[in-house]
Structure 1
Amino acid sequence: MKRRPVRLLKGYAAYDLPMSADALHPLEAARLAALAAYHILDTPPEAVYDRAVRLASAMFNAPIALISLVDAERQWFKACYGLDFQETPRSISFYAHALDHDGVLVVPDARQDHRFADNPLVTGDLHIRFYAGAPLITPDGQKLGTLCILDREPRAPLSPQDGQVLQHLADGVVSELELRRMGAVLARREAVNAAVLNSSLDAVIVMNEQGQITEWNPAAERLFGYTRDDMLGQDLGTHIIPPEWRAAHRRGLDHYLKTGEGPVLGKRLQLAALRRDGQTFPCELAITPLDLPNARLFTASLRDLTDIKASQDALESSHRLLRAVVDTVPEAIFVKDQDRRYTMINQAGAAQIGRPASEILGQTDEQLFADDVAQASRLRDEGVLLEAQAVTYEVTDQLPSGARRTFWSTKLPSYGVDGALTGLIGVAIDITDRKTAETTVQHHNTLLRHRVEAAQLEVLERLARAAEYRDDDTGEHMTRVGTTAASIAAYLGLPEVDVHLIRQAAPMHDVGKIGISDSILLKPGRLTPEEFDIVKTHCNIGSNILSGGQSPLVVMAEEIARTHHERWDGSGYPTGLQGEQIPMSGRIVAVADVLDALMSERPYKRAWSQEAALAEIQTQAGRHFDPQVVDALTHLFTTPAAL
């Protein structure tokens, strides 16, 4: 690209640049990032923006009206009225001057203005003479472009009132962009909620007050044999509850709807459920009532006691800001003179103050608000008037009505036709409801996370219990291993949270034995080498069962199941890890597991005494076991109070 000298805006040095000077604006990178965040560039025409330019054209009797968004190398038109192209090079846009201009930029006759006299838009086929552009300013103060009107004939400058109207139209465009952005955020959150429900390992069913199913997750499809389409709108009782319990189910639901009390709600119940093929099977069920703003639903979780709300999209829908001008704009818009007296206020602003506009005009904040509110407003007003700079801030005020509301406010200096400071313009957007919605979303996300963690713990407990039931001789082996392992971990000084995780996860160390044949697992005599090789696969089986979990508990359980048969000298299995390559959790459980196995009576051996078992483990320190773990066990046995 050929480089040519460019005269920069006031306050910037002169450089030889290949593009317009405003590319050197110190905040340009942030401005471009803000524009990209709206994902609006190169999108098809949309009626809401087309109406904006038609309205601007009609209100100002202008043959051309544009919504111009300024990218790094071009200005792109989201909506055009009076032109049939979508973009121009940024280097010939009027935007370079609008970037550092406060308020609406008005060029009465571009041929007479040295900034634009040689501009191709002026000298070329378009013959642009008049330009008025109101900046599209985001809530955090970034200028995305302009809403502008153009004419091929010179015009008189806009009056302050007309300038305000054009700015209000531009603010309405920004409000629509904000709604579009927030809608995308909400859609992503809804997608996350749907993914949590669909990926759950638990059967989650939601029903309404009539007992009709409104949600049925994939785990429920696998468990009961019905697809989601089969079950939506169907009666819960007639499909998954055995006939002998349906009347009780109906009575319990009716009782709760009448009294708000339910003897089975919030409890874990062992009962029979009915599959599609007519088979009944035992399951654990928990039912939780959900009182939503517009409905009452019930969540049924089977097998794992999770309270995930299958059909709840807990996101609060964002309110729609009506895009209009002056008195139809929902935001408070006002103008003050240099004495800080109100000279204009719209209906939304008057409603916030609680007085008709006729009683507000000519008054100051000291005459309308409480002292603390008035003083804070005065300080900001004086800053704008003295420094001639815009301010944007968040504030919570008590209105004259007594209500406390939070606003996102902008105040900027206003100028007369002669360029002299005349006062200030203010816009106050009420964001109270939005902040409340954000708080609600955070609360629901926290609640959902806690319930998922509880469900994972329940799954681990039930898998451990299932593994114990494979072999009656092991008794409470898994529980004892967890207790001993936690005591060792505590003595070694592991963080309390890790001690707690080891206590909960250690019982899962042999969960992989679920996949070992009973003929081998329960064999009363010694195993053949081939049989022992099969038994050794339980480490990988257990790891595979537990892999993929995200919570610290599931991650540790998988780690223990995979590594508790590794040996300190590297002769263990399944991968031959050595020394500190073996995770601490695996080293601890290895000692606790062998200790309990030695001290437990089995069909093929008698139980060892505590002293004999400890002596055997001590002889294996540095070979089978981590010496420091053996030392910890020795201390615990010689100091019974430490156990």
Structure 2
Amino acid sequence: MTPPTGTQTDPSHRLAGLAAFQPEQLFRAIFEQAAVGIALIETTTGRFLRVNQQYFEIVGLSRDDMTATTFMAITHPDDLQTDLNNMEALKAGRIRDFCMEKRLFRSDGSVVWVDLTVSPLWELGEQPSFHIAVVQDISERKRAEQNLATLNDTLEQRIAQRTRELEESRQQLQAIVDGTSDAVFVKDLDGRYLLLNRAVEQFGGKCQDEVIGRDDRFIFPPADAQAVIEADRTVMAGGVTRTYEDIVTTADGVQRSFLSTKGPLFDGQGRVTGLFGISRDITERKQAEDTLRRLNETLEQRVAERTEALQVSEHFRKEVLDSLSAYVAVLDASGLIVAVNRVWERAALLNDPSGLARVSIGANYLQVCERAAGNNSEARRTLAGIGEVLAGRTDVFETEYLCAWPGHQQWFSMRVTPLGNRGGCVIAHEDITDRKCSEEALRDSYQRLQVLSREVQVAKEQERSRLSRELHDEFGQVLSGLKFDLIGIASVSAKNRAGSADVVRTRVMRALGMVDSLFGSLRGMVSALRPSLLDELGLVPALESLVTDIQERSGLCCRVVTDRVNYQACCGIEVESAIYRIVQELLSNVTRHAKATVATITLSCGEGRAMIIVQDDGCGFRADKVPSKGRFGLRGIRERVELLGGTVDIQSRPGQTTVTVWLLLEAPSTSNGVAVRSRLPVSATARKKRRHG
């Protein structure tokens, strides 16, 4: 078949009734004024032969460009194969027409979505020649579908249980859109059909041959038909194209909604000769809109319920915050106070009676701290700690500070923790004034205990010294006199008779032996109470004597390193006794356990403290694994040192063990400022004069 041109008439017998309406003008009017794009295409090559203005506007090409290209060239590659498959089926006679949605390239390279309807212009059994392609721009609908999909995603996130219903609704709407086809028809002035396509047949349930020459009363129920006829008359009377929605009952007895575009047909003189129309079934879209409206109403109800639940949750959170005794404030990521508890509000009112302007909700807590910090390093450190938590660089920040309260001062403990993943933090200030007072009282009690312990130590050393003198002066003198008497008796008895003299002499000698033994015990007791060398010579000579004695007994090479004069002058009686006992115990441990060959005792003093370092080259040990044995073991040394306000440090490894002891030369002051001072050492000569008068 050849395409219609300006010098040919349509040979189709179906248009016989249009002969009076100048078929070429009728075709041109339908072709040019249609609200959809219409093109006449050569089937075998796909080349455009004739295209109406709406088609030009859809693809953005000129008439010359359109006639120089093919529908394949402007079809999107993803849709081309489907289009070609449909054309093959059409040419093979397997289908009589087809509809599809596809994308076309515009002249500027952009893509436009169209709904395509293709109808052949050859009869069954004839060679394929030409076909009509009707396209309608559905880009807006596609964007609406995209918006609908976006809304669907939002609904999925907010209402999980509605996800499946929304997805089913979207799929249903998609299926409806994909299956949509348009009804195209032409009527005369009396409303009789002159031309119609297969979509009209499907809606009306009548074939073309039955409908041609009849009006809508042959297809639709009387009331629907009359409404359609009146609408057609209005369009023709107005002389302009109109697009509107109407509702008709189709052949299956169902009322369906249509979006119809109808316009008048004019003859060469501009007179209205009839009407053309294109109607699209939008029933499913209307149903989808109703469903979406109901879903929106449901969503609004759910949002209202959720809002009410959040309000209840907010009230509960407020009650929990208000029940806390700490001063609690919640900050957002920028440092603004977004919530406080009742304790905080009362404290803020107490500090700012004019309206809580400084530290209430809405104030920037970081700026408040910045103004209050000034050059205070501790306040600056606190401000930096809050910033670290807000920045997510630390999980918690804690500090204690003294705050000036109206009329007094209070201690607070601040704890800053992050507020989940939303940013911000929670700041809690706990009043620890009572705890601080208790700690201060405990420290004061401990200092008093140290003072009392030092006094006890002094008294004990004094008592030992007194006992040592008494034993030496009184008991020793008596024993000495006894010994001299026994010696005299022995010498006198030696001059008398031989027999009795032997007996007396034997007894006297036994008594002398007992006296000598008693002298040894007396010297041991005196040394145990307080080494006499401490009183006679002082600390350093006493230590040197101790070292010499140990070296002779054990073979351990020992030496004492110190500034004899300065060290002797700085130690009081209780300190020098403690130092002597500590060194004595440490050297005893070295000889018994260390397997050492060399031991060094280093003594020094300064800044109110005495330092003792005992170092050996023995096998070493683990200080935390050594059990406490005896009164003067390592544990006893620690206790003695702690009573004097000192410290003990032990570093040990194979080949070298170092014990460092620090002792206070003066007792720590109590809360009332009283301190027990160490007594300066007394020279040996002065001690002898004091003992013997």
Tell me if TM exceeds 0.5. no
TM-score of the pair, normalised by structure 1: 0.33
Larger Rg, first or second structure (1 or 2): 2
